[in-house]
Structure 1
Amino acid sequence: MTALAMRTQHADLLDAAVTYLVGNPRASLADIAAAAGIGRTTLFKRYATRDELEHAVAMRAVDVCLGAARSADPDAPDGGLRSLVTALVPVGPQLSFLWRTPSLETDDDFCAAYQRVDEEILAVLARARAAGALDPAQPDWWLRQTLVALVYVAWECVGSGRLARLDAPDRVLDTMLSGVGA
């Protein structure tokens, strides 16, 4: 097996694990292995403990979120806001895992890595603000939290069938840019 194939297989395992853990946060390693379509022994060879697996899942989730954030088009008229939202909605499972796993707050490697995601998102928001798409009076932290919360809600609504996947970015952007007032 080539190195690329091994990395892809590993990424697929972690992606399956994050999806399963979001719906089953107390799942055993055996349950996670079954959901990923591998044997328990194979999972235990890679991750001897749940903490090791959670760390690997978190770091993979950061990589996925970072890739989504970096895919935003800096030359777009809105500074890349639409392309950022479009890229982030599908990574809802990763965002959900990152937010719902309290042990990550004490993981220094994770915190440093997640800071890069925040920086990329803030850069897009700064460009959107400079392009006149966002209110300059709103603090960066509020815009970031609002955007990520809306993306998360959109992902949940897509998952529950209340919102079509292709409509999700527009719903997020409409709410972000216009609010919900009459």
Structure 2
Amino acid sequence: MKRPLLDVVAEVLLAQPGASLAEVAEAAGISRTTLHKHYATRDELVRAVGLRATEIWEQAVDRVADEPGTEAGLRGLLAAMIESGPQLTFLWRNPVLDEDHELTQRYIDVEKRCLSVLNRAQSQGLLAASTPDWWLLQTMFALVYTAAEAVQYGKLAPLDAPDLALGTLLHGVGARESAS
């Protein structure tokens, strides 16, 4: 099955931020002319990848709408975000996208939706109620980023990544005391 063009572009531009449009087209298995028919400039292409990444993130949050704040909901959110790691990494690593007001507003909105899932988990006793919101988000983003990168480099099996990220989010990496 052929992967979506913008997903390939995200991976190419992550690996080679200075890649030319010809190199991007070649990696995507299309001609440069075909790429230019869809995206006349590099800026248009980068914006399209940013919008795709945001849309994927929004869909990830939508998938856990029925289970916010549950362990299954947290795992589902982490799994969906880890799976879309290259797209999210592209979004998180490209400050030029911060200047796009529509994209920035969508980013803020989906970030708030993620935070509401985490806050619901706090209210259910899964996460410490005293943890500041910004720390909850940054910790989750760091876990997603690290897990997605580990999957990409073959250090972590894709099916193991969500459980490892969830376990770290819920319990940290400290040794657990054994029951006496």
Query: Structure 2-normalised TM-score?
Result: 0.90
Residue 34 in 1 paired to residue 40 in 2? no
The CA deviation at 1:116 is 2.2
Amino acid paired to 1:68: A
Distance 2:20 2:56 in 1: 24
The CA deviation at 1:142 is 0.7
Residue 127 in 1 paired to residue 120 in 2? yes
Amino acid paired to 1:84: L
Deviation sequence 1:81-136 (CA, Å, 0-9, x none) = 11111111101001110111121121112101111220221121122111110000
Distance 2:114 2:102 in 1: 19
Does the 8 Å contact 1:78/1:127 carry over to 2? no
Query: Structure 1-normalised TM-score?
Result: 0.89
User: Runs of 4+ in structure 1 displaced over 2 angstroms?
Assistant: 73-79
Does the 8 Å contact 1:104/1:111 carry over to 2? yes
Residue 48 in 1 paired to residue 46 in 2? no
**What residue is the counterpart of 1:58 in the other structure?**
50
Distance 1:92 1:78 in 2: 21
The CA deviation at 1:74 is 3.2
Between the aligned residues of both structures, percent identity stands at 49
**What residue is the counterpart of 1:25 in the other structure?**
17
The CA deviation at 1:58 is 0.3
The CA deviation at 1:73 is 5.0
Return 5+ residue gaps in structure 1 as ranges.
1-8
**What residue is the counterpart of 1:89 in the other structure?**
82
RMSD, aligned α-carbons:
1.7
**What residue is the counterpart of 1:136 in the other structure?**
129
Return 5+ residue gaps in structure 2 as ranges.
176-180
The CA deviation at 1:181 is 1.8
The CA deviation at 1:75 is 3.1
**What residue is the counterpart of 2:145 in the other structure?**
152
Distance 1:73 1:64 in 2: 15
The count of corresponding residues between Structure 1 and Structure 2 is 173
